[in-house]
Structure 1
Amino acid sequence: MKVSVTGIPVKDQDKALEFYTSKLGFVKKLDVPLGGGNRWLTVVAKEEQDGTEVLLEPSPNNFEPAKIYQQALFDAGIPYTQFSVDDLQQEYERLLNLGVAFSLTPTAMGTVKLAVFNDTCGNNIQLVQML
């Protein structure tokens, strides 16, 4: 068994696609209309295009408990998910130069270094580098 798709709730799929591709560097994998203005919209890491897909899921717009949960996590500063990077400082500086807002700058914590940013779609996302 392996993870093939993982979802991230987003308030606006077009805005999310723009952010995840132009800022984070993912590439669009699938974009399938589902009706009602919703899409099965996934992105993948440029370096692993056959790897795990990230579903930019419009659940907050279609299921009130998802909207409440997403907002509660965001307000508490809790990351919805995390992405791994090889060089956190370099990625932090690259994203900062692209206007990405960080709530936690690169910080060493035991055997990892991490940072947290706002994905502009309702989520805090954590970047982590293993030390």
Structure 2
Amino acid sequence: MQFISVVSVPVSDQVRARDFYLDKLGFRLLAESTFGDELRWIQVGIPGAQTSLTLVNWFDEMPPGSLRGLVIDCEDLEKEYQALTERGVTFLGPPSRQPGGLFAILSDPDGNLISLRQTGS
């Protein structure tokens, strides 16, 4: 094994989710195409990162908004928190010190929760 390449994020509306991840969070569109019986593959990622996200609506076992525990590292969490808040991203609260670093948890349009983390200091 080498690394995790793609994590599936369960969403109800793939286009709305794509726009949120691109416009609000600053991800880049890596792939968008249809496959199978009119299914859609939308893959987004952080510039320079190995792991990307695919915005899925075809797994019955993964209802929209059920993602928890995804952590994205940041160099300056306070700066990221401020910039994302100004872009309309909803956080559960301000950054707080937790075991493992400084964290701030954001919610996407479906209620998937993503933790931003700054380690060190």
**TM-score scaled to structure 1, two decimals?**
0.80
Partner of 2:52: 53
The alignment of Structure 1 onto Structure 2 pairs a total of residues equal to 119
Residues 11, 122 of structure 1: 8 Å contact kept: no
Greater Cα shift, 9-18 or 28-37: 28-37
| Residues 122 and 66 (structure 1), Cα distance of their counterparts in 2 relative to 1, 3 Å cut | same
Return 5+ residue gaps in structure 1 as ranges: 74-78
**1:41 Cα deviation after fit:** 0.9
Return 5+ residue gaps in structure 2 as ranges: none
For 1:45-91, what per-residue CA distance to the aligned partner results, in whole angstroms no more than 9, with x for missing partners?
1233xx212111113xx51x322882xx6xxxxx3412111110000
Kindly report which structure 2 residues correspond to 1:118-129, keeping only aligned pairs within 5 A, or say none.
118-129=107-118
Runs of 4+ in 1 over 6 A off after TM superposition: none
CA distance in 2, matches of 1:18, 1:68: 16
CA distance in 2, matches of 1:109, 1:96: 21
- 2:101 is the alignment partner of 1:112: yes
**TM-score scaled to structure 2, two decimals?**
0.86
Q: Percent identity?
A: 31
CA distance in 1, matches of 2:16, 2:82: 22
